[in-house]
Amino acid sequence: MQSAFGKVILLGEHAVVHGRPAIAAALPRGATASAEADPAGPLLSVPAWGTMVEPADGSDLGRAFAAVVEWLGAASARCKVIAEPQIPAGGGLGCSAAVGVAVARALAAFLGRELDTSEASEAALAWERVIHGNPSGIDNLIAAGGGVGVYRRGEPLRPIALGLPVRLAIGDTGTRGSTRAMVESVAQQRERRPEATDEILDGIGALVDSGAAALERGHLRVLGQHFDLCQALLASLLVSTVEIEELCAIARDAGAFGAKLTGGGGGGSVIAVAERPDDVVQAWSGRGYSGFAVELAGR
Ligand code: PMV
């Protein structure tokens, strides 16, 4: 059984698409996949999504699978890859990249190969290009290698040594965002209003630099302030929603140091940093939202 990590972006989503840095952290769960012999292969089955695809079937998933098959030179692999996502799709938690990495590893293992982290990440980037259009590369890198670090497009992850474990509450808005649509919308804003949009992206990038220092020093209250500022800047890029704002407000009322959307926005998930994330999860559930608590440990 092959596996891959999910992820949260702590600071810097959207700005990272446009060359600014971002901080990402792996979640313990992401996706698993295995491959079994099948004469009709290569095939990909994702039972949780009720779907089975083949590379040439024209579906988005089929084309993403085709990109991985091509990257691996695996067109003649007579197998069916069965993938099991462990996090919601469209939830801003890097589900598609995790499935891409797990699928690439399972297909390679069927062919007797073991992919190293950078190979698994590259194979999943080919997958992500189909699903997302213009991925920054952050999701596939974390899905393959795990850890917590600062990422800038085209550069390796710079690991962050956490000063303290970071406790997060992760809440689900119950609505699904399209990362692709949100990324395209920001790109359009940048075309229409280049200076104003770049100022916002620069502001998010600046938060990443000082947020990384807060993480290294274990200053979680300061990190929370960075979350709040980042959320305000993301909202000004029109990627927030009523539900996201509500989850953030509930989290702050329940004692969180700060809260923001994570990932593409337009729906999906919210993260809150808190001393007692379970209090936040409970407050969300009292208002009809589901969530869970995680503790991030750097490597
Ligand atoms: O929605 P997710 O989990 O795929 O995260 C997307 C993060 C963005 O910065 C919006 C896009 C990207 O490719 O980095």
Calculate how far, in angstroms, residue 283's C-alpha sits from the geometric centre of ligand 1.
27
Calculate how far, in angstroms, residue 37's C-alpha sits from the geometric centre of ligand 1.
34
pLDDT, tens digit (0-9, with 9 covering 90-100), for 172-224: 999 988 888 999 999 999 999 999 999 999 999 999 999 999 999 999 999 99
Beta carbon of 167 within 6 Å of any ligand 1 atom:
no
Q: Which residues are catalytic?
A: 139
Beta carbon of 138 within 6 Å of any ligand 1 atom:
yes
Beta carbon of 128 within 6 Å of any ligand 1 atom:
no
Calculate how far, in angstroms, residue 43's C-alpha sits from the geometric centre of ligand 1.
27
Query: Which segments of the chain have a pLDDT < 70?
Result: 298-299
* This prediction's pTM: 0.90
What is the token pair recorded at 182? 């949100």
pLDDT at 215: 97
pLDDT at 298: 56
